[in-house]
């Protein structure tokens, strides 16, 4: 625990917390529309299919620009790239508050997606230099816990803001908060930890060798894609189910149980709180396995398989359990298990290719972006066709099973050849420290 506490101390700790703040803020801006969706649907007279199009609009640009923004981050550094991203998603959130119809709503959400595309890859790139190897699982798990904490707090936050500011004012206020984060990030963060004016020698000694901008070397596209494809496909299975939660959970509780918006916010928050715990727990577990075994493959893959297995078991309860409290508990347990895989999944690109972590993470985020487009639309279309909010869960269960099978092809213990020597020596130091 002393080792974990060190993650939040000193200059490295403040940088880590600043990255966590980005995950928190951008996820509020990512999921806020799903909370206000019942109000928008009524005001704009949208069908479930049209609402699904609006909810998925975020994913269009989010999917297309992941690798591009990750590539740019590898070239110009995460400091500048994340600042540009923050400006874009802040503008998208602000314009959502003044939208006049379906098309402008779709365009605003696409702008949020454009801004948030590449944020996780570039944050991963930043953490490659700012986080020790043996703490990467925790770092990835905790940052994603920050995101799920945002998903948990957003429902009651939006419900409280709407009576005071209206749903439009709530979006404008949240966009301003994002702009403040951009300013702080530019002022404090440095791509190279050794160039930060406040960092100590002891902190530098604990960090891996600096993986600088890769503008002088060509990206090894073919071997990189081969190495990162298995974890990319696994994360698509994860993201499909996650976006079911992010986009449709409030509407699921309203549509199946007819409860009001305030009660829906409480149920939704409770479910996402389980995800917060799951993210951190999975990160701690994968790092503990790595310290015990020294085997990255065992540490990452086994946690992913256990998480997917537990998630599909609890998610299947939605098909035959009808009590709303029991359903909420089952959904919470399923999300806990699902989110426990975030830490090991996102540690893989750092393990495999630290010099190209932005691009590698971009492929993984692209899978999430595609799921963000397809999953909300599929849910809306299926519910309109069948009249049931439970049927779409069957597809998520099937994809989680596919993800378990694909996990056996993930090999973080085999870094790209050009980085093998550096990674192995670093890993050895970290395991025995």
User: Tens of pLDDT along 395-416?
Assistant: 889 999 999 999 999 988 887 7
261: pLDDT confidence band, cut at 50, 70 and 90? low
In the predicted model, what is the mean pLDDT of residues 5-10? 79
pLDDT, averaged across the chain: 84
With cut-offs at 50, 70 and 90, classify the pLDDT of residue 423.
very low
Q: Residue 237: is its pLDDT beyond 80?
A: yes
Diameter of the chain by CA atoms?
Answer: 62
- The answer, yes or no, to whether residue 427 has pLDDT greater than 80, is no
CB-CB contact of 97 with 111 (8 Å): no
pLDDT, residue 175, reads 93
**8-state DSSP, 413:** T
Q: What is the mean pLDDT of residues 265-277?
A: 79
- 255 compared with 285, residue with greater pLDDT: 285
DSSP state letter for 318: G
Whether pLDDT at 433 is above 50: no
Write the DSSP string, 179-231: HHHHHHHHHH--SSGGG-TT--HHHHHHSPPP----TTS---HHHHHHHHHHH
Contact 276, 154 (CB under 8 A): no
pTM of the predicted model, to two decimals? Answer: 0.74
Mean pLDDT across 186-199 = 93
Helix, strand, coil % over all residues of the chain, rounded to 5: 85, 0, 15
Please give the Cα distance from 253 to 262 (Å, whole number): 11
Q: What is the pLDDT of residue 3?
A: 62
Question: CA nearest 82: which of 123, 45, 140?
Answer: 123
Instruction: Identify the pLDDT of residue 398.
Output: 93
Q: Which of 164, 184, 215, 17 is nearest to 90 (CA)?
A: 184
Mean pLDDT of 225-229: 91
Asked if the model's pLDDT at residue 90 lies above 80, the reply is: yes
State residue 426's pLDDT score. 38
Contact (CB, 8 A) for 337 and 308: yes
Going by C-alpha positions, the residue among 400, 7, 406 that lies closest to residue 203 is: 7
Closest by CA to 412, choosing from 343, 356, 349, is: 349
For 340-362, the pLDDT digits (tens) are 999 899 889 888 887 787 888 88
DSSP state of 46: -
Q: How far apart are CA 256 and CA 408, in angstroms?
A: 37
pLDDT tens digits for range 165-190: 888 898 999 999 999 999 999 999 99
**Confidence check: pLDDT of 418 > 70:** no
Are the C-beta atoms of 90 and 386 separated by less than 8 Å?
Answer: no
pLDDT of 140 > 90? The answer is no
Q: Report how far residue 90's alpha carbon sits from residue 172's, in angstroms, rounded to the nearest whole number.
A: 9
The band of 421, judged by pLDDT with boundaries at 50, 70 and 90, is very low
Q: What is the dihedral of CA 151, 155, 161, 163, to 10 degrees?
A: 170
pLDDT score at 432 = 35
Q: With 70 as the cut, is the pLDDT of residue 207 above it?
A: yes
112-115-120-124 Cα dihedral, nearest 10 degrees = -170
263 pLDDT above the threshold of 80: no
The yes-or-no verdict on residue 18 having pLDDT over 70 is: yes
Please report the pLDDT score of residue 429 as a whole number: 34
HSE-up of 363 (CA within 13 Å, CB side)?
22
Q: What are the b/e assignments for 409-422, b being 16+ CB within 10 Å?
A: ebbbbebbeebeee
The pLDDT value given to residue 188: 95
User: How far, in Å, CA of 23 to CA of 31, rounded?
Assistant: 12
Residue-level pLDDT at 294: 84
N- to C-terminal Cα separation, the chain = 15
Please tell me the predicted confidence (pLDDT) of residue 58: 83
Mean pLDDT of 196-209: 88
pLDDT digits (tens, 9 = 90+) for 46-75: 777 777 788 778 878 888 888 888 888 888
How far apart CA 267 and CA 335 sit, in angstroms, is 13
Residue 39 has pLDDT above 70, yes or no: yes
Report domain extents, the chain: 8-191+220-432
What is the percentage of the chain residues whose pLDDT exceeds 90? 31
Taking a C-beta distance cutoff of 8 angstroms, is the pair 325, 316 a contact?
no
Q: What is the CATH number of domain 8-191+220-432?
A: 1.20.1250.20
Rounded CA separation 1/227 (Å): 33
Q: What is the pLDDT of residue 335?
A: 92
Q: pLDDT of 365-374, one tens digit each?
A: 888 878 877 8
What pLDDT was estimated at residue 260? 66
- Can you tell me the distance from the alpha carbon of 343 to that of 23, in angstroms, rounded to the nearest whole number? 14
């Amino acid at each position: 625990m002393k080792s974990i506490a060190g993650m939040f101390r000193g200059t490295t700790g403040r940088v880590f917390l600043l990255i966590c703040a980005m995950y928190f803020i951008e996820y509020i801006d990512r999921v806020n529309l799903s909370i206000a969706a019942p109000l928008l649907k009524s005001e704009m007279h949208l069908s479930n299919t049209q609402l699904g199009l609006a909810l998925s609009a975020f994913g269009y640009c989010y999917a297309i620009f992941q690798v591009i923004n990750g590539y740019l981050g590898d070239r110009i550094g995460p400091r500048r790239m994340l600042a540009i991203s923050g400006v874009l998603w802040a503008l998208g959130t602000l314009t959502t508050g003044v939208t006049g119809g379906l098309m402008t709503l779709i365009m605003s959400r696409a702008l949020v997606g454009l801004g948030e595309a590449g944020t996780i890859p570039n944050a991963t790139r930043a953490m490659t230099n700012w986080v020790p190897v043996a703490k990467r699982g925790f770092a990835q798990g905790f940052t994603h816990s920050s995101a799920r904490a945002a998903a948990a707090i957003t429902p009651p936050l939006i419900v409280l803001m709407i009576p005071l500011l209206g749903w439009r004012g709530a979006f404008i206020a949240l966009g301003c908060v994002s702009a403040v984060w951009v300013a702080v990030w530019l002022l404090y963060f440095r791509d190279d930890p050794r160039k930060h004016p406040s960092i100590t020698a002891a902190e530098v000694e604990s960090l891996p060798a600096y993986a600088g901008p890769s503008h002088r070397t060509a990206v090894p596209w073919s071997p990189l894609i081969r190495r990162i494809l298995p974890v990319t496909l696994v994360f698509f299975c994860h993201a499909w189910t996650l976006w079911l939660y992010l986009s449709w959970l409030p509407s699921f509780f309203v549509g199946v149980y007819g409860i009001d918006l305030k009660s829906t916010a409480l149920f939704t928050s409770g479910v996402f709180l389980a995800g917060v715990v799951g993210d951190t727990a999975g990160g701690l577990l994968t790092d503990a396995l790595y310290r015990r075994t020294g085997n990255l493959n065992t540490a990452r893959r086994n946690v992913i398989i256990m998480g997917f297995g537990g998630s599909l078991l609890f998610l299947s309860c939605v098909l035959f359990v009808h009590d709303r409290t029991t359903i909420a508990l089952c959904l919470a347990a399923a999300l806990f298990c699902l989110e426990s895989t975030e830490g090991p999944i996102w540690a893989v690109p750092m393990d495999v290719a630290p010099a190209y972590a932005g691009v590698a993470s971009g492929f993984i985020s692209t899978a999430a972006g595609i799921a963000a487009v397809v999953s909300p639309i599929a849910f809306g279309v299926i519910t309109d066709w069948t009249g049931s909010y439970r049927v779409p869960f069957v597809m998520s269960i099937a994809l989680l099973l596919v993800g378990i099978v694909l996990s056996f092809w993930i090999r973080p213990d085999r870094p790209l050849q050009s980085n093998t020597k550096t990674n192995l020596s670093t890993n050895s130091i970290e395991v025995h420290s």
